[in-house]
Every structure is written in structure tokens, then in C-alpha cells.
Amino acid sequence: MAPLAVLHAVALALSLATANAVTVNETSTLYTFANNRISFNVLKTNGYIRNLLFEGISVLGTASGSAGQLYTDFPSDAFALTVNPTHQIVQGIDYAGIIVTDNDTSTGSLVQRSWFLRDGETGLHSFVRLAYHNSTGPSKGALGEVRTMFRPNGGPWTTLVTNAEQWAPIPGAEAIADQVQVQDATWYLGSTPDDAYVQQESDYWTKYTFADNQTNKAHGLVGQSSDGTPIGAWWVVNQKDTFFGGPYHVDLMVDGIIYNKQSTSHGGATSPNITDGFDRTFGPQFLYLNQGQGATLQSLLADAEQYADPAWNANFYDEIAPHVLGYVPTTSRGSFIAEVKVPHGAEDVIAILSANGVHFQDSPADPSAYQYWADVRNGVVHIDRVKAGAYRLTVSASGIFGDYVQDNVVVKAEKQTHVKATWVPESAGTELWRIGVPDKSAGEFKNGLERDTTHPRQPSKYRIYWGAWDFPNEFPGGVNFTIGKSVESRDWNYVHWSQYGPTYTRNDTVTDINRWTINFSIDSKTAKKLTENSAATFTIQLAAAKTTAGNTDANQGAWPSFPINTYVNNEAAPLVWTIQPYESSSCGERSAISCHLLSNKFQFPGTWLRQGDNSFVLELPHAAAVYVQYDALRLELQ
């Protein structure tokens, strides 16, 4: 006779096989999925999700237009939904899912959205597959923006949460009704001073205030159920390898809508060119709902962030991999370990695996490439679950100019790749001075990470509409910075504007601010090295540069490219660095301090320098709709 425990296990397995823990019901217009915690409807016409209930609470509210729904869309129009999608229902013992396929046979375009619900979990697993197979048709151009949105219309939500540091109340109806637009997607709300957002966060509202980079683990909305229980809704970014752009890429997170951005051009980001054979599955990401008596915003967020781990639910994802075409299972992944000797002074060291042969922010150049990163601790980094393939290894650190780069790092399936690397820092001689911290950000400068102490939430100033910080009043005539006396956080602005205004509080445009001056002194000992054989190197690292191309890469506007001129002392001809349209990013005006990263080195005769007082003038075109944001600058002498 079989042991009782074995019989019990067999009976349990049979019971689950005949009565799935996740139920699926079908009507003529929709499917209903439910476990014992949540339920939702999937519309047959377009695959949108409505009527999402969590413990009986309607978290999406009432559908109206596109609001009140969970869905994927394509603002750049590289892909589109058809009017006649197909549906595949997948059921296992402890899960159920749906694959909605829009197959446009006339163009060869395919959109496939997959949602899975597991027994006992209070969230939905999401995948998006995009494909283009047309050997005779034209390129579809850049993929542009693709996003999956939790877009409530009503519901229990009161608070926007980007991360543990950046959160604020949602502006109220009266504030929105009385708002004054100050630029696209940006409004002045100060006419309603009693509004919770205005009181706690800022007089200005823009969705870009709540952006973050790809190190974000979870972001979402917090509110209260009818009985006062705190409740949260979160996009948990448990796997980022199918995204593009690397860890520093910034995008929208939440503005009342919770965004899961598969691809974008925000911040000057590059997206892949869609040609015949393009086929990519994004995900998984996890839409998570939680609540708890006595819970706080921070505890709800921390609960969500624990699932931002690529190893979490890996067995489940392997199980459903046959149904999610393009998902890379564990058997096709390996691990990566590196021992890295980093330069003295390196802080916040990070290792990045990305497309082979190109900068990590340009990884869409290879539409099949994946990306990974992790902190280097005590000289060691370990990254698991890496898709088999060839990668570029980049090691980056705060405080060090440039990066360590190594191509052709091969990761094999079910194997461990071990790399030993020594990072020799860039050097062009003796460093005479530097401005800023090379960390791929303009945050250390005035109005960057500096706090706005006029509001209780004290957001970093860069997150607020740029017009709140009146540059011509703070820096009449532009920045005039003296090495050894001036302070970056006070005397160097986070944006070098060519022109400034108009803004909500300023009607005119100020144009005498395009020339910034750096003053420095050379002592007698250094001056002896200024011989005919000496060479000076001036390095500029930019956190962003904006031409009139904006984020489009297009040759448009009066200044689609522009020069940054550096005048050394009395030399008549400047050192010229021309910013191209494809290097442009709308950054500072979109509440950001790090976008498309750029770097340039000027070498010039050491004899251009002299003992005593010296000066550089950094010049942008006069009265042009362009700007730059410096990461760091330094002068070296060889």
C-alpha cells in the first residue's frame, strides 16, 4: 500500500489538474481571469485589460476612452494593432495566461502581448513581442516609443512614486482646472496654493519630474482603500535585459499613469531600426498590487522592489517559455564574473554588458543585443542569467574620466565566463584642474541635485521646470568661474543656456549668457613646462547637448548642429567641437541631468598658456535654441 502522504500528494495533483487555481471564463466579448486575490477582463477586440480588481478594489476605475485600462501602445507608429487579433489561452496547474496576436499580413508586422496570472500572486506578468518579416518591403524606420501603461481613471490613488526618494501627491482637480501651460507637458499650478501637490512639491507640474533611469526597481501609485488600508500599484522591473540604452538612460515612470517603457526616444535615446527580420520579445515585467494595515509608502515600495530580481520566478518563466516566443530560457543563459582593478579614487563602480562594438547607450545598433549591469564591489562583479552571446564590457565609475572598455566578451549557455581586467585611467599628462565630478551627470552643479527647500518634499531642483530657476538673475552675463575660489554647487549652473526665456515669470529672452568664462592661474613651476614641445589637453564630458533636432536626430530647425567654441586666452581662433543632430537630447528642459553622453578632447600647444592669469571662454551660438549640460571638464599638461 502506498504511504498516506504519497496518496495525499497524488490526490492533490489530480485535484489541481481538474480544478485550476487560476480560472478563465469566456464570453462573446472578453475573457475573465481570476485567482483568489485578483481578477481582470481582457477585451477580445484589442487585448486591453479592464476591471482589474484587487481584493475587491477597482484599481483601474471606470473605462473611458483609453483611461481605466492596462494596455500597450505605439506613439511612434512603427507598429499598430489590427482590428482582428487572435487569442491563445494557456493554462497550467497554478497559472493561466493569454497571448494576443495582431498579425498584419499585408505589411509583415506582428504584435504579440502576453499576460500571465499565477495562483496566490497579486500581479500580472507581462511580455511584448514585436516582429517585422518582409523581405520586399521598406524599412519601418526607428522603433521609437513603445510602452505598456497602467492607466487608471479614478480608483484609490493619491500619490505618485518614482522611487524611495522622489514621490509627491497627485495634483487635485481644482489645480488641474486652473493650471497655466508654461511649455509642452508642463504647467504652473501656483494659482491653487492649497493643493497638496503645490504645498508639498512645487508650483510647477510636469510628468518629467517623476522620471528615473534604468536602475529603477519599481515605481507606481499609492493610495487608500475605502477602509483606509494603504494600497500600492507598481511596475516591477524584474528584468531589464531586453530594454535599450544602459543604466543611465532616463525615461518617464509615473504621472498618474504607471509606465513600462519598452523603447523610447526620450532623453535622446536611440531605438533600433526596424528592417526585415526584426523580432524581439520585451519582458518579463511584473505589474504588482499590494496593501497592508499600517503599511507606509516606503514599506509598500520596498515590498515591490524585492521582486526586481532576474532570478525571481525564473522557473516559472522557463515553464511558459514555449508559449512566449522570443523569451530566452535558463538553458540559453550563462553567468559572468569579472575581477576588475579600478583606478584610485573610483567610486560607485558599475560593470555593463551591452552590444558588442558600440557604446552601451547605442546598443540598439544591434537589435538582437541584450544588456546587463551590476555594481563592482571589492573589485568583483557577478552577473547571472546572461543571454549567450558576445558583449562589450564597460566599467564606469564616479570620479574617473572615461571608461574601461573591452569588446568580444563571450558568454556561453550554462557556462561561466571569467574576466580579469585592469582599468588604466585616461591621462594626457599632469592635471592642472578639473570642474565637476565625472559621473555622467550634471547633478553636482547649481540647480541640479540641489534641494528646493521652499517645499516640504524638497525635490532636487533639476526635477522642477527649468524656468523656476531664473538663470539671468543668478548668473548675470553668464557663468564666471575661478579655479580654486569658485564652488561648483554655487558658481556653475547645471545647464549652459545659449538663450534663456521666456518663462512663466519672465516675458523676455535673454541672450547675453552664451559665453562662460573659466579663470585659472599657472604658477612659476608649471610655467617652466610650457615649452615648444609641451601639449595641453582640455577634456569636456557632457551629460547632454540639445540642438534644434531635439530628440529626433533629424536635420531640423535653425541649429540642428552647433559648435561649442573654446577660446584659450588671447588666441583668435577657438577650439571647435560640433554637436550633431543625432547627438542631441532634450534633457534640462525635460527635468533631467543625464541624457545622451558625449565627450571630446582638445589638444593645443602648451605655449598658449602662460604664467599667472589665464582664461578659457566656452561659447555657444548667440541667441540660439540650444544648450549643453556639463558632466566634467579638466585641463592637463604634457
Boundary-marking domain end, from 367, 400, 422: 422
Q: Does 48 lie in the same domain as 28?
A: yes
Asked whether 478 and 434 are in contact (CB, 8 A), the reply is no
Alpha-carbon distance values, 479 to 275, 394, 494, 496, 509 (Å): 46, 34, 11, 8, 17
Owning domain of residue 281: 21-156+232-320
CA–CA dist 236, 125 (Å, integer):
10
Residues 6+ apart with CB under 8 A from 241: 310, 370, 371, 372, 385, 386, 387
262-289 pLDDT, tens digit per residue, is 999 888 899 999 999 999 999 999 999 9
Q: Does 481 lie in the same domain as 605?
A: yes
Q: How many residues does the chain have?
A: 638
The verdict on residue 164 lying in a domain is no
Q: Does 369 lie in the same domain as 294?
A: no
Q: Does 104 lie in the same domain as 126?
A: yes
Q: Does 381 lie in the same domain as 288?
A: no
The verdict on residue 553 lying in a domain is yes
188-205 pLDDT, tens digit per residue, is 999 999 999 999 999 999
- What is the torsional sign of CA 471, 476, 480, 484? negative
Q: Does 316 lie in the same domain as 336?
A: no
The verdict on residue 196 lying in a domain is no
CATH number at residue 352: 2.60.40.1120
Residue 15 C-alpha cell reads as 485535484
CB atoms within 10 A of CB 359: 18
The verdict on residue 80 lying in a domain is yes
Q: Does 142 lie in the same domain as 111?
A: yes
The verdict on residue 576 lying in a domain is yes
pLDDT under 50: residue ranges of the chain: 1-18
pLDDT (0 to 100) of residue 568: 98
Report which DSSP code applies to 4. Answer: H
CATH number at residue 486: 2.60.120.260
Give which of 159, 325, 330, 328 is closest to 255, Cα–Cα.
159
Asked whether 591 and 549 are in contact (CB, 8 A), the reply is no
The verdict on residue 526 lying in a domain is yes
Per the structure, how many domains does the chain have? 3
CATH number at residue 306: 2.70.98.10
The H or E element containing residue 251 is strand 250-251
pLDDT (0 to 100) of residue 243: 97
Boundary-marking domain end, from 302, 320, 338: 320
The verdict on residue 217 lying in a domain is no
Give which of 392, 380, 313 is closest to 350, Cα–Cα.
380
Q: Does 261 lie in the same domain as 129?
A: yes
Residue 342 C-alpha cell reads as 579600478
Cis peptide before 425 (omega within 30 of 0): no
pLDDT (0 to 100) of residue 11: 26
pLDDT (0 to 100) of residue 20: 76
Assign 603 to helix, strand or coil. Answer: strand
Q: Does 452 lie in the same domain as 348?
A: no
The verdict on residue 50 lying in a domain is yes
Assign 24 to helix, strand or coil. Answer: strand
Q: Does 579 lie in the same domain as 451?
A: yes
Asked whether 491 and 481 are in contact (CB, 8 A), the reply is yes
Boundary-marking domain end, from 320, 346, 363: 320
Q: Does 339 lie in the same domain as 477?
A: no
Q: Does 334 lie in the same domain as 316?
A: no
pLDDT (0 to 100) of residue 545: 98
Alpha-carbon distance values, 141 to 134, 307, 508 (Å): 13, 35, 39
pLDDT (0 to 100) of residue 631: 98
Label residues 254-278 b or e (16+ Cβ within 10 Å = b): bbebbbbbbbbbbbbbbbbebeeeb
